[in-house]
Amino acid sequence: MMQLLMAAALAVLACARIPVLRRNRKDTVFVAAVLACGAALLTDPDVYVAVDHAIGGINLARLIMQMLMVLGLWFLRSALLHAVAPGTRNTLLRRSPLLVALGLLVVFFLMVGPTHTTTTWGDEFEGEITGALFSVTGIAFISWVCGEIAVVCFSYLRRLRGTFRRGFTMVGTGCTVGCLTMAMMAYGVIAHALPGVDPLPWMTPDVYHGLELLSIADVGIGLTMTAVAGHRRRVRIARWEKEAFEMVQPIREHALRVAGLQRTLEADDEAPLQDRLHRMIVEIWDAELAAGGDSVLTPEWRAYLLEVERKLDMEHADLHRTS
């Protein structure tokens, strides 16, 4: 039941990102949520058995589950790093940790040897070094990614405000919980494989699942908050741009008429309203220059146009950062 709750929480996050996906034609957070949802579904024993029987009955679903978890966290990491540094490129060198982790998962899975479908992988295979290495590889990678995301989120907080700040705080908190949970889980696997290492008696499967659900809930709520806040901001900006367009249009017509100029830039009615507004302001300044010493603008109009230009630049920067 706990596994299905985690999958449901991730499905809700994916649904919350659909508007962003439609607008941008792609969304890394959506991909991350879908991959993680698939992994969470496979943690449910009934789903796991059904899927594994369908693909050969050799615990291949275990490998797929681990790889989905690794890929999901990697995509989330990429999305947050891009939000902090938009110029970041996902080059082969930067993808090397992901490629190494996926490669090791495949190698260690093959080294475990022929297996049968089981929902108790830990009890049956983590007592052997190859089974333990397979599990620890995925767990350690997830712990590292969660830790890095937490550091990025908390480092970025000073540049945010309002809902975005609260959303990133929740994402960072959730990833911190996830990092610590995975670290303790890795310790448990090592303790199972090495007789001389004592396990943590209070870290039962229910505790693990509870902490995982808490981590996923925090991250999901935080990312949903930022998505909703971004949508509201875009609606507010669109409303302001429409009002500014209606105010600037008669000013432009007056300026061109007084300066004796025709339209200086070709109109594009299909262009975004922000671009059309910027074009009109450029035409007004051209008319002002053409008028020579006689200004075609009142002081109030000039002040308003300067304020519109300032807000256009500011809103463009905000949208680029939070889209």
- The CA–CA distances, whole Å, from 160 to 2, 44, 171, 318, 321 equal 34, 38, 14, 10, 10
Same domain flag for 199 and 223: yes
Taking Cα atoms as reference points, which of 62, 86, 80, 199 lies closest to residue 135? 62
Q: How many CB atoms lie within 10 A of CB 6?
A: 23
Q: Which residues contact 67 (CB under 8 A, 6 or more apart)?
A: 102, 105
Same domain flag for 241 and 293: yes
| Cα 123 to Cα 252: distance, rounded to the nearest angstrom | 76
Last residue of a domain, one of 172, 197, 231: 231
Domain with residue 19: its CATH number is 1.20.1070
End-to-end CA distance of the chain: 34
Same domain flag for 318 and 213: no
Same domain flag for 194 and 245: no
Token pair for 183:
């670290």
Which domain, by its residues, includes 180?
2-231
Same domain flag for 155 and 49: yes
| Cα 72 to Cα 7: distance, rounded to the nearest angstrom | 13
Domain count for the chain: 2
Same domain flag for 125 and 92: yes
Same domain flag for 31 and 61: yes
Q: How much is the pTM?
A: 0.77
DSSP, collapsed to helix, strand or coil, labels residue 207 as helix
Same domain flag for 79 and 192: yes
Last residue of a domain, one of 176, 203, 231: 231
Q: What is the residue-wise DSSP string for 101-153?
A: HHHHHHHHHHHH-S----S-HHHHHTTSHHHHHHHHHHHHHHHHHHHHHHHHH
Same domain flag for 209 and 257: no
Taking Cα atoms as reference points, which of 174, 313, 300, 211 lies closest to residue 248? 300
Last residue of a domain, one of 231, 248, 267: 231
| Cα 176 to Cα 183: distance, rounded to the nearest angstrom | 11
Per-residue pLDDT of the chain (323 residues), as tens digits, is 667 877 888 888 888 888 888 888 888 889 999 999 999 899 888 999 999 999 999 999 999 999 999 999 999 998 888 877 665 555 667 888 999 999 999 999 999 987 888 888 888 888 889 999 999 999 999 999 999 999 999 988 888 888 889 999 999 999 999 999 999 999 988 988 888 888 788 778 788 878 888 898 898 888 888 878 877 888 888 898 899 999 999 988 888 887 776 555 556 667 788 888 888 888 888 888 877 767 778 889 989 999 998 888 776 555 555 44
Token pair for 307:
């304020």
Same domain flag for 128 and 271: no
Same domain flag for 103 and 151: yes
Same domain flag for 201 and 293: no
